[in-house]
A and B are shown apart, each in its own frame.
Chain A
Amino acid sequence: MREMITGQYIMGDSIIHCLDPRTKLIGCLVVIVVAVWPRQTITILLFNLAFIIIVIYFAEVGVGRVLRGLRSLKLIFLLTFICQVFLTRGDPLWSWGSIVITRQGIDLGINTFLRLLILFLSASLLTMTTSTLKISAGLESLLSPLKYLRFPVQQFAMIINIALRFIPTITEEAEHIVRAQKSRGAQFDSGSLSIRLRTVMALLIPLLAASLQRATDLAWAMESRCYTSDGQIYSRVYKLHFAQRDLIAMGVISIVLLLAIL
């Protein structure tokens, strides 16, 4: 890997790292729900954003590194903003021919922009400070009431765990294949559509083949260690425990939630 993947786990021992994954999952959920709640005002969104930035500060992962992840998303941000600004009807502020910019448009544009930003930041903060093992343990524990509805909670958590676990591996593999095909003259960035298609196939086919191979290998390895999917209870390396700091964190989250609602 040349660079880190956005949202990749960064080892650390900050307060945020040490929190119970359940606390962080709930906190993340709260922030996201507040952000996507319909007709949210810009003030509340800004308040929410400020909260996240404070948490980023406490997580000691480096604000710059979190923001760097935004670079790849700048087009989406820009496009949604522009669409909202130009396509919303209301009191015209400024017009040029048939193009009209309205106050509501600008409002909505900023609003959407903030919402996307909050979604992105809270999710990447969660994955940057929580290892995949802990995320899946936390999910499993939070979803465990669903067991009574015969929802396969444990398998679900295992699937999430495996999926998260293999993101860096597959990215690395993709980069490796790209370099290998480049040394055979593959042009990934230029050329006509047909050349482009051929080069993309040269990446996708080996990548897919390797992933399938890896999936079968993993399945065999799990089965040969007697993993079954019939709802047996497996022990975990990480015992989750809800400490005092989690209570405090929950308190903080509730206050933020209350402030946001009022």
Chain B
Amino acid sequence: MPVIETKELTHIYLAGTPYEKKALNQVSLSINKGELFGIIGANGSGKSTLIQHFNGLLTPSCGTVRVYGKDTANRSCRNELWKKVGLMFQFPEQQLFASTVFDELAFGLKNMGLEGWEIENRVEEALLQVGLNPKEVIKVPPLGLSGGARRQVALACILAMRPTILVLDEPTAGVDPSASEHILKAIKKMQREQQATVVMVSHYVNDLIFLADKLAFLKEGRLLSYGDKKTVFRDMAQWDVNDLILPEHLKLMHRLAAYGLPVNTEILTLEEAAAEISRVMEEWARCER
């Protein structure tokens, strides 16, 4: 059963002004419960715009968005969505404001109407989840932490609210590998142990290649390909994707295919790529003989 469903979703910024911008153009997709759904696309392709529709922060200019079967155009549904759909913005560490990490995490929890012990338990649990030591950081001002740790705190803020859908905008952009690993681990764990649905935006395809169950590829506001990872990667060979960071072996396969070699581009891992290349070469050798 799809938990998020968009139908011909179109979003136009600044409609009716000279600065009008169509950021999304007729995007239809559905995301199933428990899936880890990856969205890839270059800068300005509309990824952030798309995911802000998932918790009702933006509403469609045209088309519909349904979350748990309810239309987000309905105001009262939209205003309750933040409890179920945890959305972490791009560079979320820029939105931290409280004087201690504890207060920072408690902000969302208090908004949910929780009190006392419940808040303390959840704060501790969320910090552990993202790989921080609660005893060390809980009394520190968030702005005093390193960039990576701040990103972890921002993720903890969302996790503490225990959303059933987790939406993340470039969670690993601009942090070091160790923080990035903690973040990805926490996300994966959340999906596996709490059966959460996860939507993750990234233009580091490397992050998503093993993690994601399904992928969507956006370009200039259009959904060019979506579904199984391998099909999406195969489809991507047809489009100019120089603006995306593809893993080297996928780039190689796409190049070979562009040269007209009969390689199968439905490939994920390095090993698969190697096997495919040797298969093609053997076939060649056989033909020459």
| Partner-B contacts on A (CB < 8 A) | 1-4, 10-11, 65, 176-177, 179-187, 198, 201-202, 205-206, 209-210
Q: Are A184 and B111 in contact (CB under 8 A)?
A: yes
**Docked CA distance A205–B18 (Å):** 32
Distance in Å: Cβ of A195 to nearest Cβ of chain B:
8
Which B7-59 residues sit within 8 Å CB-CB of chain A?
A: 13-14, 17-19, 52, 55, 57
Q: Are B108 and A185 in contact (CB under 8 A)?
A: yes
Name the residue in B19, B97, B107, B157 with the highest tally of chain A Cβ atoms < 10 Å from its Cβ: B97
Instruction: Please give me the 8 A-B residue pairs with the lowest Cβ-Cβ distance, nearest first.
Output: A185-B111, A205-B97, A184-B108, A183-B87, A180-B95, A180-B89, A179-B57, A202-B97
**Which residues of the partner chain B approach A201 to less than 8 Å between Cβ atoms?**
97
Distance in Å: Cβ of A200 to nearest Cβ of chain B:
10
Distance in Å: Cβ of A11 to nearest Cβ of chain B:
6
Distance in Å: Cβ of A51 to nearest Cβ of chain B:
25
Q: Known pairs A176-B89, A177-B95. 18 more at Cβ < 8 A?
A: A1-B14, A3-B14, A4-B17, A180-B89, A180-B95, A182-B82, A183-B87, A183-B89, A184-B107, A184-B108, A185-B83, A186-B107, A186-B111, A187-B111, A201-B97, A202-B97, A206-B95, A206-B97
Indicate whether A206 sits within 8 Å of B94 (C-beta atoms), given known contacts A1-B13, A3-B14, A184-B157.
yes
**Docked CA distance A205–B158 (Å):** 19
**Which residues of the partner chain B approach A183 to less than 8 Å between Cβ atoms?**
55, 57, 82, 85-87, 89
**Which residues of the partner chain B approach A176 to less than 8 Å between Cβ atoms?**
89
Distance in Å: Cβ of A185 to nearest Cβ of chain B:
3
| Partner-A contacts on B (CB < 8 A) | 13-14, 17-19, 52, 55, 57, 82-83, 85-87, 89, 92, 94-97, 107-108, 111-112, 143, 157-158, 161
Q: Are B17 and A185 in contact (CB under 8 A)?
A: no
Distance in Å: Cβ of B48 to nearest Cβ of chain A:
10
Q: Are A184 and B18 in contact (CB under 8 A)?
A: no
B157 nearest in chain A by CB position: A184
Distance in Å: Cβ of A245 to nearest Cβ of chain B:
23
**Which residues of the partner chain B approach A198 to less than 8 Å between Cβ atoms?**
107
Indicate whether A180 sits within 8 Å of B108 (C-beta atoms), given known contacts A4-B17, A202-B97.
no
**Which residues of the partner chain B approach A65 to less than 8 Å between Cβ atoms?**
17
Indicate whether A4 sits within 8 Å of B83 (C-beta atoms), given known contacts A202-B97, A209-B143.
no
**Which residues of the partner chain A approach B89 to less than 8 Å between Cβ atoms?**
176, 179-180, 183
**Which residues of the partner chain B approach A206 to less than 8 Å between Cβ atoms?**
94-97
Distance in Å: Cβ of A182 to nearest Cβ of chain B:
6
Distance in Å: Cβ of B111 to nearest Cβ of chain A:
3
**Docked CA distance A4–B14 (Å):** 7
Indicate whether A184 sits within 8 Å of B158 (C-beta atoms), given known contacts A1-B13, A1-B14.
yes
**Which residues of the partner chain A approach B82 to less than 8 Å between Cβ atoms?**
182-185
